[in-house]
A and B are shown apart, each in its own frame.
Chain A
């Protein structure tokens, strides 16, 4: 157990959650909750892996993943925005649909090898003691992308005019409408962007950070954890970044706990009774629930809530928000 290695790995796996969560933040900020993230992630992972395997071009694979997630999210946008269907059920159905599609199209891909997105070390920055070795040495391209994505998303949402429109549509669509902002247009755009990021985070799994296609075990619920992370992050990309890395770190910690025979000078129970490991495997999911409890009560204290119009269809001319 080496703290530096664990942090390094935590940031790397946390990047998967970070990308999906930031996509979902965009969608939810516009008032559309997309619970199809898990399905879009899996479909993205499959699309990326299959494209990389067949063409040998990993950049094309990323494009395929982004499109796969994006197209699926457009279906969600259509039925929730135009048809005013329930966002919860629509998202859920797309998780099924995405999973089914990914399994059918990914049939026979298990265990194959495909080209991957490279890892590299940043010159200069990697020379900084400790930080350099954790953040800037032998990390995946996606990880560096994550470092840029979170602050940029934060700046976009809070400091730019389109960001203001985005927040207005999610908080008070009727007011945004009177100001000439197209509520439907904004919602379509950010639902699509959210889907694209979900697809990309799938590619981040299958062709970058933990390469390979293992049918539905490829994502194993990380899409749902990303959705939970959004609530924990109180719809703030910087907090999502922190939360993603924290989660990645915890996952790695749980893995490392199984190795040594002695822990903190005591007999390591996980080493001697391997079945106790099931309790370790539960922990990420239990921690997600606990993070939600903590996140929601702290949000309540600080009076930060979900975007006011989250989950509500907007119908021009009807009373509502």
Chain B
């Protein structure tokens, strides 16, 4: 008997991608546990704490969903871009610019917040968040489409620029009495939360889950439709799988690069808006705990499937919630990096099969 690695001649079985993703997550926890044990921490205790602080109560789970919300939106945007092999690593920056644009509504202010109906103000904030993210996605899209410039580097550099841009406003112009944040926005412009229902039903008291999560679910359905049912989705998949064939088919690749980048940026921008209006209720430093980067991993772990993005985002939301208080602080980064690395290494199983071959039988067959 020996192991043989052969190239697959047909598509891998349907369960395989799910199995490799799950396997990657489990193995990542095992490996990270080994590293933690090596530096003298108790991995089991850390993981138990992880689980309890993420799923121990409905309140904790509500926190997890709050963290999952921006991940869903960003992960969906990344999934679309990655289908075209556009590596948008700039969701972090697009998120910040989206947050900045939606804050303009209250801080400039663009409307009189106290007299305008909240639904109009919130709608305007959403629109501006989307616009800001899309504009910020337009820049690397254009550079890629017109000059063929590596989008990974441009998007990463623009992430830094976006953070400094935000800092300029919250440290200076919009600062609340010298603190590095804007004043709290009036309650009228907050996204509705579960806690708002606490008066009718005390069960909801203290639950911070806001309607942003519903935006995420709607976008997941829309994106599923775009990818699987629409003509545009077909083009995107074709450009990603076989750019040459796409060019021969007369598809305008440059235009689609820019469009997909703007779409991806728009979703990150919307995530920035939901974070500002649904969670922190002002613009401040570090509104993102590297959602932009986790979103990349989420999309990849979900194998670019919109509904899987939602599920994986919940898992990562749990990682973020638990990771907040955990020491050492790099643990959640470590686990995320290991997961991503294992997922891409396991992709080899999609193309190759590992078989146990009976050497005796094989040699008999060869002889015949």
Contacts and interface: CB of A to CB of B under 8 A. Distances in A.
Interface of A: 35, 39, 75, 78-79, 82-86, 88-90, 92-107, 215, 221, 224-225, 227-228, 231, 273, 275-276, 278-279, 281-282, 285-286, 288-289, 292-293, 296-297
Given A94-B337, A282-B160, A297-B147, A224 B330 contact: no
Contact of B157 (A82, A105, A288): A288
A85 B344 contact: yes
B334 interface: yes
Contacts of B334: 97, 100-101, 103-104
Given A275-B173, A293-B147, 8 more contacts: A39-B337, A82-B348, A92-B87, A231-B150, A278-B167, A285-B161, A288-B157, A293-B143
B154 interface: yes
A292 B150 contact: yes
A286 B157 contact: yes
Contacts, number: 149
A79 B157 contact: no
Which range contains the number of B residues in contact with the other chain?
35 or more
Contact of B87 (A85, A88, A97, A278): A88
Contacts of B172: 273, 275
B125 interface: no
B156 A221 contact: yes
B258 interface: no
A107 B38 CA distance: 14
Contact of A101 (B35, B293, B327, B329): B35
Nearest to A275: B172
Nearest to B296: A92
Interface string B133-158: 00000000001000111101110111
A85 B161 CA distance: 31
Contact of A99 (B153, B157, B161, B337): B337
Contact of B165 (A75, A89, A90, A278): A278
A100 B341 CA distance: 13
B327 to A, nearest CB: 7
A79 to B, nearest CB: 5
Contacts of A75: 341
Contact of A100 (B154, B158, B164, B330): B330
Interface in B14-38: 35-36
Contact of B154 (A82, A90, A94, A292): A292
A231 B153 contact: yes
A84 B348 contact: yes
Nearest to A39: B337
A224 B293 CA distance: 15
A296 B150 CA distance: 10
B344 A86 contact: yes
Given A84-B348, A103-B329, A96 B293 contact: yes
- In order of increasing CB-CB distance, the 10 nearest A-B pairs are A103-B330, A96-B337, A100-B334, A97-B337, A275-B172, A100-B333, A93-B340, A107-B328, A83-B348, A285-B157
Nearest to A223: B156
Most buried by A among B36, B328, B330: B330
Contact of A296 (B148, B161, B330, B340): B148
B333 A289 contact: no
A159 B50 CA distance: 56
Contacts of A102: 330
A93 B296 CA distance: 10
A82 B344 CA distance: 12
B157 A293 contact: no
B328 A92 contact: no
A306 to B, nearest CB: 9
Interface centre among A99, A279, A297 (most CB of B within 10 A): A99
A269 B30 CA distance: 54
B336 A100 contact: yes
